[in-house]
């Protein structure tokens, strides 16, 4: 048999940067090592419609089975891959956190998948393919989900893989690493080309309520000999300039960190990893700095100890302050994140976190609402309380934001508004801003401006508009600036919106992040009755957008909207697929980045 492994399209346009997922690379490597006939297709580097690309690859290589997977919020970019394959009569297999988090709901929602792989897939996929080729009963394969008399049922659970050193190294070559290196990965607010993603451990020993560990329940560490042998393999073939260690938790063992830093230092490659604030010492920071660690990422999550306790973070804000001050004092770069909306969150606790973040602008603290993803403790609470009434519908709606906190929906929206306002408040804005090299296809611009803190001028290249949690750090003092729409570009977008309203009569605007709300706040055109702001989140729908109602996506059908502008371009493909599948392909879908073009042609 011939197998096609497809990496779904994460990007708006081929050539855009993305964070390459290691899961499918490990699966490909495992299958190739086992001797299966494996072909690969990375949709992020291919122009054309997904269905056409799948059809061409299936026909060219006489494919028998197509595999594609991802995380829960990747549902709508995995779906069209499996649909195209199934419509050609091929066996379809899906996996990753998407299936592992809630196997039954996922398989019911996916519709075109024959088999789901639950948990780590390197060993499961070998057993599964052997069973398929031998015509054996798939129910004897541990770690999958199949249909029995029309009902989806998991097989026996497969144990977590203990020996990570025994795994084949990720198949980077099969997924166009040479092309990928030319794009800029985006993680923790950093953008680097020639970035290699690697794992040194799997899972995490902690049980935070908002997390779901997609790679198993047990924390396992990879041997450093195997890690550096893989690194040698890659640097001998590719111009690696930066390494993102994708571990949920890089290390709790200072001796392991010491050895890692000693061994990575001669490469002269900078790197990035995630840490916890409760096991950082001055000695450890010095070791990391000497070992070329570029940036430390910390999941702060809240500045209120009541919320941290509820989240099961097992840290305090006092520990956070001590650690971040220590890291900064040693000259190390750091990034951190706050998430709002925990079970015990109130307007008071949320404001405590916002005030804390604003008091430390040099710590690069991002702010976001908590996301309730399948598999997490919060997800189970939301299902039990009836907040999520239909798990299949929740997945098919893109896992929209929901309110599981103690706040009313109106209070919840007040927190969202306060968070957005805090990130772009006037005293934290650049002055003497200049914009150049605007790419209307991608929404990427170059920006220069004077820092409100130190007064020095910085220049940033390749900044992406419309992306949530996107920020620029002053190149002198490190103060963070969230990207907002420059006045000149705002005027162009406004003009194009007016033209679209004149042509279509009615217009939807899908996705209410802080960029979209900022556009509505300053626009008489967008506040007209002919414009329908919309969002998948019921909590967002319950809010008031400066006196204007926010609609559910069903308005596309019920109000017969002929066109929709996607205000979240990084989710453009996901939203387009969702709209076409639910409401038909006759609707005009417009990427808001296109509206940056002077004399935009809507045809």
Residue in the structure block whose two tokens are 């047990």: 218
- What per-residue confidence (pLDDT) applies to 29? 98
Sole residue written with tokens 């993305």: 18
DSSP letters spanning 150-183? TEEEE-SPPPPPS-GGGSPPP-TGGGTHHHHTTS
pLDDT tens for 6-60 read 999 998 888 788 899 999 999 999 999 999 999 999 999 999 999 999 999 999 9
Residue 186 tokens read as: 């985006």
What percentage of the chain's residues is helix, strand, coil (to nearest 5)? 40, 20, 40
Phi, psi of 115 (to 5 degrees): -140, 140
Read off the tokens for 196: 């290699």
- In the three-class reduction of DSSP (H, G, I as helix; E, B as strand; rest coil), residue 309 is classed as helix
CA distance 19 to 3: 24
CA atoms in the 13 A half-sphere facing the CB of 32: 18
pLDDT value, residue 182: 86
- pLDDT for 424 equals 63
Task: Note the pLDDT of residue 467.
Answer: 72
Q: What's the CATH superfamily of 181-370?
A: Aldolase class I (3.20.20.70)
Instruction: Calculate the alpha carbon distances from 49 to 12, 27, 365, 505, 524 in Å.
Output: 12, 25, 38, 28, 36
Q: What is the pLDDT of residue 428?
A: 61
Structure token digits, residue 293? 């660690």
Going by DSSP bridges, is the β-strand pair 195-198/242-245 parallel, antiparallel, or unpaired? parallel
- CA–CA dist 597, 499 (Å, integer): 13
Closest CA to 170 of 280, 20, 390: 20
pLDDT, tens digit (0-9, with 9 covering 90-100), for 220-263:
999 999 999 999 999 999 999 999 999 999 988 899 999 999 99
166 contacts: CB under 8 Å, gap ≥ 6: none
**pLDDT for the residue numbered 186:** 67
**Element at 358 (helix H, strand E):** helix 347-358
Report the topology of domain 2-162: Rossmann fold (3.40.50)
What is the distance between the alpha carbons of residues 108 and 391, in angstroms, rounded to a whole number? 10
- Angle, vertex CA 455, rays to CA 451 and CA 459, nearest 5: 50
Strand partners, 563: 588
Q: How far apart are CA 31 and CA 95, in angstroms?
A: 15
Contacts of 506 (CB under 8 A, 6+ apart): 530, 531, 532, 559, 560, 561, 562, 563
Q: What is the pTM of this model?
A: 0.90
DSSP string, 40-52: EEEGGG--S-HHH
Spell out the residues 6+ positions from residue 549 whose beta carbon is closer than 8 angstroms to its own. Answer: 533
User: In whole angstroms, how far apart are CA 423 and each of 182, 336, 480?
Assistant: 31, 14, 9
Q: DSSP string covering 326-343, please?
A: HHHHTT-EEEEEEEE--T
Task: Report the distance separating Cα 280 and Cα 511, nearest Å.
Answer: 39
Look at the block and give the residue holding tokens 């096609």.
4
| Same fold yes or no, 181-370 and 487-596 | no
Sequence-ordered alpha helix ranges (H) in 224-346 = 224-235, 254-264, 282-290, 305-310, 317-329
Reading phi first (left if > 0) and then psi (alpha if -120 to 50, else beta), residue 335 is in beta
Query: What is residue 430's predicted lDDT score, i.e. its pLDDT?
Result: 82
Helices (H), 367-513: 377-385, 391-396, 409-423, 487-504
Q: Which residues of the chain have pLDDT under 50?
A: none
What is residue 422's predicted lDDT score, i.e. its pLDDT? Answer: 79
* DSSP character string of 208-230: -TT---TT-SS-EE--HHHHHHH
Q: How many residues in the chain?
A: 603
The rounded distance, in Å, linking the Cα atoms of 187 and 200 is: 17
**Spatial contact of 172 and 22, defined as CB atoms under 8 Å apart:** no
**Confidence (pLDDT) at 61:** 98
**What angle (nearest 5°) sits at the alpha carbon of residue 484, between those of residues 479 and 485?**
150
**Which residue, among 43, 13, 31, 227, has the nearest Cα to 130 in the 3D structure?**
31
pLDDT of residue 421: 76
CA distance 293 to 271: 5
The angle at the Cα of 224, spanning 219 to 229, to the nearest 5 degrees, equals 125
Contacts of 278 (CB under 8 A, 6+ apart): 314, 315, 319, 323
The CATH fold assigned to 487-596 is Rossmann fold (3.40.50)
Domain boundaries, the chain: 2-162, 181-370, 427-484, 487-596
Residue 319 tokens, joined: 């520990």
| Concatenated DSSP letters of 189-203 | TEEEESEEEE-SEES
| Contact of 593 with 443, CB cutoff 8 Å | yes
Question: Residue 287, Cα to own-chain centre: how many angstroms?
Answer: 30
């Amino acid at each position: 048999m011939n197998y096609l492994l497809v990496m779904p399209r994460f990007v708006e346009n081929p050539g855009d940067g993305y964070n390459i997922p290691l899961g499918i690379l490990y699966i490909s490597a495992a299958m190739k090592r086992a001797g299966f006939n494996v072909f690969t297709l990375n949709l992020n580097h291919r122009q054309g419609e997904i269905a056409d690309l799948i059809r061409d690859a299936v026909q060219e290589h006489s494919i028998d089975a197509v595999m594609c997977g991802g995380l829960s919020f990747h549902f709508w970019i995995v779906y069209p891959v499996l649909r195209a394959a199934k419509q050609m009569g091929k066996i379809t297999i899906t996996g990753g956190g998407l299936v592992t988090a809630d196997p039954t709901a996922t398989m019911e929602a996916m519709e075109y998948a024959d088999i789901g792989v639950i948990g780590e897939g390197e060993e499961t996929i070998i057993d599964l393919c052997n069973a398929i080729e031998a015509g054996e009963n798939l129910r004897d394969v541990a770690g999958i989900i199949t249909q029995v008399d029309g009902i989806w049922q998991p097989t026996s659970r497969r144990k977590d893989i203990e020996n990570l050193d025994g795994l084949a190294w990720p198949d980077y070559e099969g997924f166009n690493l040479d092309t990928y290196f030319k794009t800029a990965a985006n993680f923790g607010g950093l953008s680097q080309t020639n970035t290699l993603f690697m794992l040194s451990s799997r899972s995490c020993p902690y049980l935070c309520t908002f997390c779901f560990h997609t790679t198993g329940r047990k924390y396992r560490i990879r041997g450093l000999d195997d890690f550096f042998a893989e690194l040698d393999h890659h640097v001998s073939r590719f111009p690696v300039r930066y390494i993102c260690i994708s571990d949920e938790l890089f290390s709790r063992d200072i001796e392991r960190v010491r050895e890692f830093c000693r061994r990575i230092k001669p490469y002269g490659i900078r790197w990035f990893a995630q840490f916890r604030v409760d096991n950082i010492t001055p000695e450890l920071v010095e070791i990391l700095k000497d070992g070329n660690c570029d940036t430390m990422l910390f999941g702060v999550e809240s500045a209120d100890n009541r919320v941290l306790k509820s989240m099961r973070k097992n840290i305090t804000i006092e520990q956070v302050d001590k650690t971040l001050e220590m890291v900064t004092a040693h000259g190390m770069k750091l990034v951190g994140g706050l998430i709002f909306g925990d079970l015990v969150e109130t307007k008071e606790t949320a404001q405590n976190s916002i005030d804390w973040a604003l008091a430390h602008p040099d710590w690069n603290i991002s702010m976001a609402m908590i996301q309730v993803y399948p598999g997490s403790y919060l997800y189970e609470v939301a299902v039990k309380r009836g907040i999520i009434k239909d798990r299949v519908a929740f997945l098919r709606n893109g896992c929209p934001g929901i309110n599981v906190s103690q706040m009313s929906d109106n209070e919840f929206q007040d927190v969202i508004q306060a968070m957005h306002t805090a990130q772009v408040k006037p005293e934290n804005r650049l002055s003497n801003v200049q914009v150049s090299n605007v790419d209307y296809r991608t929404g990427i611009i170059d920006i220069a401006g004077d820092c409100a803190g130190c007064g020095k001028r910085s220049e940033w290249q390749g900044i992406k508009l419309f992306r949530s949690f996107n920020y620029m750090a002053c190149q002198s003092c490190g103060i963070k600036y969230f990207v907002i729409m420059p006045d000149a570009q705002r005027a162009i977008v406004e003009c194009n919106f007016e033209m679209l309203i004149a042509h279509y009569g009615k217009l939807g605007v899908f996705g209410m992040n802080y960029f979209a709300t900022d556009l509505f706040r300053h626009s008489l055109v967008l506040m007209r009755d002919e414009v329908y702001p919309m969002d998948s989140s019921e909590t967002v729908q319950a809010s008031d957008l400066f006196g204007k109602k926010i609609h559910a996506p069903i308005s596309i059908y019920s109000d017969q909207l002929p066109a929709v502008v996607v205000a979240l371009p990084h989710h453009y493909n996901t939203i387009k697929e969702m709209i076409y599948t639910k409401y038909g392909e006759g609707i005009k879908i417009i990427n808001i980045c296109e509206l940056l073009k002077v004399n935009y042609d809507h045809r």
